C-alpha cells in the first residue's frame, strides 16, 4: 500500500511509514474495511443482488475513495442497470485516481467506440426525463408512449421499466396490471433485491396466475408483435415464372419515345430556360450600369465640392492681398512685417484646413495679432485659435505628464526638465490649463524648488477656485509646510 501523506510504497504489515514516519494502523484498518466491503459486493453481484452490491460498494468508497476496483465494479453495475451516465462518471473518477493499468479506460473506450449505440443511450435518457415530466403533469398517455420506446431501446433500464409499470398500475385495468407484472418479472431477473421492484410485485401478486385471461392476452399480444417483426419464410421457387417464355419482337417505339423526349427537352429549354438566362444577364447589366452611374455622380459631386472650396479660398486670398496693397504707402519694414504676418496666417489656415491642428497652432502662435487690421484676418485668426489652441495645449500637457511620470516615449526614465519645457508650451496655448499649472508645481517640488512650486499651487487656488485641481494643490501646499 502507499502512505497517505507522502505516497511512498510501504509494506502492508508495517505500522509506520519509513519515509515520513506517518502512523499507518488506522489507515490500514480503513483500507482493509474498504476491501472487505468490495469483496462482499463482488459476491452479491455474482448472485445478481445488484442493489445490495451498490450499497456495499458505496460503503467501500466511504472508507477508501481511491479503491479503483470498487469504483470500476460500481460502474459496471450501473451499466448493467442501464444507468450509462452514472457508470461513465464512476469510470472517469477511477481513471483520475489511477492513470495507469486501470480497467476503467477499457470500459470507457468500449462505450465510446460505438457512437450510434452511445447516441441511443443518450436518447433513452432524454426520453425518460421527458416521460417523467409528462407523468408529473398528469399526461400519462404521452409518458407511457415515451417509456415504451425507452424500454424497447434499452430493456435493462430499470428506472424506466419501473416508471412504466407504475403508470400501468395507475390505469388499473387487468390488461395494464398484467403488463406491469411482466415488466417487473423481467426487471427482477436483472436485480433480484431491488426494493421498488419487489414492492410492485407484491402489489401485483394477483397477476401470478398464468391462466388469468389478462395475462394470456398480454402474452398473445407480445407473441404477435414478435411474429410481426419477423419476415415470413419464402420458398426458393415461390416467385418463378410459370408462363412459357416468349421472345420479344423488335420494336421501333423505344426509339420514337427517346426522340419525342429529346424534342420536348429542347422545347422546354427554348421557351423556359433560355429566356430566364437572358433575363438574368439583362438584370445584371442593368445593375452594373446603375452602379457606374452612381459612382460617376458621386465623383462629379466631389469635384464640384473641391471647386467651391478652391473658389472660397481664392476669394479670401484676394481679400488679404487687397489689405496688403492698402499698406503700400507705409514704412517698408512695417510693410514687410505685416506681409510676413499675413503669410503666416495663410500658412496656419492652410494647415488647419488640412487637419494638422497642432502645426496650425504652432504657426499661429508666431503671428502678431495687433498687425491684423482686416476683419477677415481677425476672423481667420480667431477661428483657427479657437479650434487649435485648446487641443495643442492638451497635447503638450499630455507629453509633459508622460515625461514627468516616465511613461510613453519616456518610459523607464523621468525627465523633469523636458516635462517643464512641454508644460510651459502647454500654458502658451491655454493659460487656464490648471492641469499643466499643477504639474509644473509638481516638477519644481520634485527638484526641491519649494517656493516656485508654491507659486503654481497658489495660482490654481487664487485664480481658478472652481478647478478640480484645487484640492490637490492645497494638499501639496500642506506637504510644503504652508
- Model confidence at 238: pLDDT above 60: no
pLDDT of residue 336: 52
Each residue of 363-410: pLDDT tens digit?
A: 666 676 666 666 666 676 667 777 777 777 888 888 888 888 888 787
pLDDT at 235 over 50: no
**Domains 25-113 and 118-223 belong to one CATH topology:** yes
Grid cell digits, residue 349 = 489656415
All 3 cell numbers of residue 330? 507705409
Residue environment code for 291-314, b if the CB has 16+ CB neighbours within 10 A, otherwise e: eeeeeeeeeeeeeeeeeeeeeeee
Domain formed by 118-223, architecture: Alpha Horseshoe (1.25)
pLDDT at 179 over 70: yes
Q: How confident is the model at residue 330 (pLDDT cuts 50, 70, 90)?
A: very low
| Whether pLDDT at 188 is above 50 | yes
Pairwise pLDDT comparison (300 vs 83), residue with the higher score? 83
The residue with greater pLDDT, 312 or 216, is 312
Let me know the angle formed at the C-alpha of 25 by 23 and 27, rounded to the nearest 5 degrees: 85
pTM of the model: 0.42
Q: What is the pLDDT of residues 110-156, one digit of tens each?
A: 888 888 888 888 888 888 899 899 888 988 889 889 888 888 888 88
pLDDT band at 258 (very low <50, low <70, confident <90, very high): confident
DSSP string, 74-86: HHHHHHHTT-HHH
Q: Is the pLDDT of residue 167 over 60?
A: yes
Residue 21 near residue 6, CB atoms below 8 Å: no
pLDDT of 217 > 70? The answer is no
- The domain limits of the chain are 25-113, 118-223
Instruction: Give me the pLDDT at residue 259, please.
Output: 87
CA separation for the pair 67, 457 (Å, rounded):
75
Helix H or strand E encompassing 295: helix 274-326
Summary mean pLDDT of the chain: 79
Q: How many CA atoms lie within 13 A of 219 on its CB side?
A: 9
pLDDT higher than 70, residue 69: yes
Rounded average pLDDT over 167-171: 86
pLDDT at res. 342: 66
pLDDT, residue 240, reads 44
Using 50, 70 and 90 to split pLDDT, how confident is the model at 39?
A: very high
Average pLDDT over residues 30-59: 89
Helix 195-203 to helix 158-171 angle (10° resolution) is 20
**E strand or H helix at 283:** helix 274-326
Residue with cell 396466475: 209
Q: 427: Cβ–Cβ under 8 A, 6 or more apart, which residues?
A: 393, 433, 436, 437, 440
pLDDT above 70 covers a percentage of the chain that reads 76
- Domain 25-113 indexed as CATH 3.30.1360.120: no
Q: Which residues contact 15 (CB under 8 A, 6 or more apart)?
A: 23, 24, 25, 28
Does 243 or 428 have the greater pLDDT score? 428
pLDDT value of residue 250: 60
- The Cα–Cα gap between 163 and 129 comes to 11
- 8 Å CB contact between 469 and 460: yes
Q: Which pLDDT band holds residue 81 (cuts at 50, 70, 90)?
A: confident
3-state secondary structure of 157: coil
**Count, residues in the chain:** 482
What is the pLDDT confidence band of residue 458, given thresholds at 50, 70 and 90? very high
d(CA 94, CA 103): 9
Amino acid at each position: 500500500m502507499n502512505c497517505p501523506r507522502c505516497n511512498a510504497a510501504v509494506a502492508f504489515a508495517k505500522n509506520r511509514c519509513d519515509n515520513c514516519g506517518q502512523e499507518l494502523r488506522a489507515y490500514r484498518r480503513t483500507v482493509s474495511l474498504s476491501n472487505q466491503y468490495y469483496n462482499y459486493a463482488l459476491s452479491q453481484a455474482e448472485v445478481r443482488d445488484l442493489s445490495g452490491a451498490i450499497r456495499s460498494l458505496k460503503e467501500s468508497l466511504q472508507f477508501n475513495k481511491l479503491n479503483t476496483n470498487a469504483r470500476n465494479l460500481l460502474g459496471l453495475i450501473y451499466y448493467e442497470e442501464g444507468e450509462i451516465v452514472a457508470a461513465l462518471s464512476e469510470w472517469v473518477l477511477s481513471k483520475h485516481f489511477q492513470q495507469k493499468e486501470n480497467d476503467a479506460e477499457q470500459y470507457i473506450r468500449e462505450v465510446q467506440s460505438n457512437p450510434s449505440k452511445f447516441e441511443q443511450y443518450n436518447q433513452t435518457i432524454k426520453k425518460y426525463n421527458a416521460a417523467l415530466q409528462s407523468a408529473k403533469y398528469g399526461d400519462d398517455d404521452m409518458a407511457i408512449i415515451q417509456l415504451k420506446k425507452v424500454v424497447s431501446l434499452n430493456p435493462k433500464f430499470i428506472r424506466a421499466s419501473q416508471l412504466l409499470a407504475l403508470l400501468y398500475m395507475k390505469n388499473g385495468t387487468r390488461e395494464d396490471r398484467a403488463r406491469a407484472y411482466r415488466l417487473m418479472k423481467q426487471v427482477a431477473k436483472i436485480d433480484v433485491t431491488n426494493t421498488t421492484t419487489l414492492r410492485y410485485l407484491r402489489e401485483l401478486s394477483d397477476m401470478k396466475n398464468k391462466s388469468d385471461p389478462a395475462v394470456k392476452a398480454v402474452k398473445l399480444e407480445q407473441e404477435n408483435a414478435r411474429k410481426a417483426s419477423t419476415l415470413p419464410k419464402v420458398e426458393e421457387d415461390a416467385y418463378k415464372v410459370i408462363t412459357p417464355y416468349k421472345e420479344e419482337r423488335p420494336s421501333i417505339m423505344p426509339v420514337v419515345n427517346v426522340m419525342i423526349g429529346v424534342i420536348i427537352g429542347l422545347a422546354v429549354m427554348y421557351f423556359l430556360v433560355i429566356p430566364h438566362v437572358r433575363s438574368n444577364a439583362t438584370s445584371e447589366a442593368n445593375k452594373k450600369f446603375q452602379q457606374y452611374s452612381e459612382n460617376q455622380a458621386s465623383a462629379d459631386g466631389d469635384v464640384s465640392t473641391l471647386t467651391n472650396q478652391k473658389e472660397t479660398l481664392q476669394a479670401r486670398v484676394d481679400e488679404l492681398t487687397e489689405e496688403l496693397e492698402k499698406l503700400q504707402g507705409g514704412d517698408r519694414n512695417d510693410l514687410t512685417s505685416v506681409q510676413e504676418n499675413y503669410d503666416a496666417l495663410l500658412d496656419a489656415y492652410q494647415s488647419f484646413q488640412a487637419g494638422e491642428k497642432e502645426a496650425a497652432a504652432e504657426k499661429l502662435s508666431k503671428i502678431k495679432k495687433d498687425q491684423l487690421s482686416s476683419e477677415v484676418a481677425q476672423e481667420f485668426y480667431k477661428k483657427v485659435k479657437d479650434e487649435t489652441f485648446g487641443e495643442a495645449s492638451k497635447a503638450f500637457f499630455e507629453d509633459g505628464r508622460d515625461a514627468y511620470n516616465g511613461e510613453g516615449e519616456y518610459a523607464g526614465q523621468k525627465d523633469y526638465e523636458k516635462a517643464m519645457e512641454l508644460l510651459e508650451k502647454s500654458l502658451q496655448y491655454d493659460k487656464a490649463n490648471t492641469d499643466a499649472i499643477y504639474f509644473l508645481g509638481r516638477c519644481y517640488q520634485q527638484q526641491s524648488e519649494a517656493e516656485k512650486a508654491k507659486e503654481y499651487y497658489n495660482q490654481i487656488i487664487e485664480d481658478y477656485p472652481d478647478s478640480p485641481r484645487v484640492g490637490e494643490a492645497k494638499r501639496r501646499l500642506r506637504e510644503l509646510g504652508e
